[in-house]
Amino acid sequence: MKILVTGGAGYIGSHTVAQLCADGYEVAVLDNLYTSCEESIVRLRKITGKDIPLHKADIRVQENVRKVLRDEKIEAIIHFAAYSLVGESMTNPLKYYENNLYGTKQLLEAMIEEKVNKIVFSSTAATYGEPKSIPILETDETNPTNPYGETKLSMEKMFKWTASAHGVRFVSLRYFNACGAHESGTIGEAHNPETHLIPIILQAAAGVRKSISVYGADYPTRDGTCVRDYIHVSDLAKAHVAAVKYLLDGGKSDIFNLGTETGTTVKEVIDAAEKITGKDIKVLYGGRRAGDPAVLTASNKKAREILGWKPEKTMDDIISSAWKWHSKNPYGYKK
């Protein structure tokens, strides 16, 4: 039984490949390496001891995807391949429509032609936009505030209609704040440019950057800084494997939140990082970042009940695993 992971060289994709291998699945990766690099696959082969095939291909080129599905005898797909920078999506929305939406349409057509009918999809809490109530439930209103979230929501809708017309079953996983790294410290988060809180804090701790700017300390929260639901990437990886298993066992198409139900403020994350790294982190307080809601936390009840998944890692686990990765690889996969 072989699973194709599109975007498997990227951050969450690579951790999911590691988990699939650990759970005994055969895996192939399809990635165009535009925002990731081959080195993550080289390291995955070392961690897992498996010969993970990497197909350097683009989901938009349907013949190539079809060939991979046929040659590898793929049973199900986990689909990560997409652009994912919120800020970039605001300045270049059509880039997001072209890759995320058109790419997914090409992938779905290839699946229909090659009779692959199960897909797990990497979605996001950005599909909800500004929440009306906390914690966020899967049944809450979706009203994205940026093209990134909008394309992910449209992709979910594409899956829904394709499911009813062509019998493709899907699970969409809406992640909250993905963070942390593999326990080995050899694969982890490496975005360029880096915009996420925890890598930036740890780069400041490692001396790669001078300081961290906190975007707003006047929110109506316990210490004035934003509250987010930080979920360890290894917990996310386990949820993807649980979702594949659910589809292989005949589960029906559905959408699940993936979060911890625990909110942590920006200041609390910085305090945890100072405690674990033993470094003083220089903090500058600045204005709010446009589009940041004060509080975002998930209800994960549905994933617990239907997928039998629950997050296991704490904030300390997140920081210590990410610190292991960042201190060994201060410039990501670059040598």
Quote the CA–CA distance of 225 and 265 in Å, as a whole number.
6
Q: Which residue is nearest to ligand UDP (CB)?
A: 226
| Bridging pattern class, strands 227-228 and 264-265 | antiparallel
Judged on CB neighbours under 10 Å (0-12, 13-18, 19+), 33 is middle
- Can you say whether the dihedral through the CA atoms of 306, 238, 298, 268 is positive or negative? positive
Q: Does 214 bind ligand UDP (CB under 6 A)?
A: yes
Quote the CA–CA distance of 117 and 120 in Å, as a whole number.
10
Quote the CA–CA distance of 101 and 123 in Å, as a whole number.
13
Q: Does 271 bind ligand UDP (CB under 6 A)?
A: no
Q: What angle do CA 56, 57, 63 make, to 5 degrees?
A: 140
Quote the CA–CA distance of 206 and 123 in Å, as a whole number.
31
Nearer to ligand UDP, 71 or 130 (CB): 130
Catalytic residue among 25, 96, 128, 148: 148
Q: Does 174 bind ligand UDP (CB under 6 A)?
A: no
Is 215 a residue of the active site? Answer: no
How near is the Cβ of 201 to ligand UDP at its closest, in Å? Answer: 8
How near is the Cβ of 203 to ligand UDP at its closest, in Å? Answer: 10
One of 15, 174, 182, 228 touching ligand UDP (CB under 6 A): 228
> In a 3-state reduction of DSSP, which class is residue 221?
coil
How near is the Cβ of 296 to ligand UDP at its closest, in Å? Answer: 6
- Contact map string, positions 274 to 293, toward ligand UDP, x by CB under 6 A: ---------------x--x-
Q: Does 297 bind ligand UDP (CB under 6 A)?
A: no
Binding site for ligand UDP (CB under 6 A): 177, 195-197, 200, 212-215, 226, 228, 266, 289, 292
> What residues are labeled active site?
148
